[in-house]
Amino acid sequence: MEPTWEPKILAFLCNWCSYAGADLAGTSRIQYSPNIRVIRVPCSGRINPLFILKALQNGIDGVLVSGCHPGDCHYLTGNYIGRRKSATLKRFLEYLGLEEGRVQFSWVSAAEGGKFSQVVDEVTRDIRKLGPPKHFAKQKRGQGFQDSRVVGFKGPS
Partner 1 sequence: MVEKKLREKAKELLSKKEVDLIIGFGEGTQPLRATPVFIRNPEEADRLVWNSFCENNLATYLHKFSRFKVGIVVKGCDARSVTALALEKRFKPEQVVLIGVPCQRMIDRKKVKKAVKGEIHKVREEGEKIIVAGEDGDVVLKREDFLYPLCKACTHRNPVQETLRVGDPVGEAPLTEPNPEAKAFEKKPPEERWAFFEKETGRCIRCYACREACPMCYCTECFVDSSNPRWIEKSLSSADLEFYHIVRAYHQTGRCTNCGACERACPMDIRLTYLTQKLNQEVEELFQFETGVDPNALPPLSTFKTDDPQEFVK
Which residues contribute to the site for partner 1 (CB under 8 A)? 49-50, 53-54, 57, 70-71, 77, 80-81, 83-100, 104-107, 119, 122-123, 135-138, 145, 147, 149-151, 154-157
Q: Which is nearer to partner 1, 29 or 154 (CB)?
A: 154
Contact 14, 42 (CB under 8 A): yes
Angstrom distance (rounded) from CA 62 to CA 98: 11
Q: Which is nearer to partner 1, 6 or 122 (CB)?
A: 122
Give min distance, CB of 37 to partner 1, in A. 18
Give min distance, CB of 119 to partner 1, in A. 5
Q: Which is nearer to partner 1, 27 or 157 (CB)?
A: 157
Q: How many CA atoms lie within 13 A of 11 on its CB side?
A: 26
Give min distance, CB of 57 to partner 1, in A. 5
DSSP 74: T
DSSP 5: P
Angstrom distance (rounded) from CA 33 to CA 68: 21
3-class SS at 110? coil
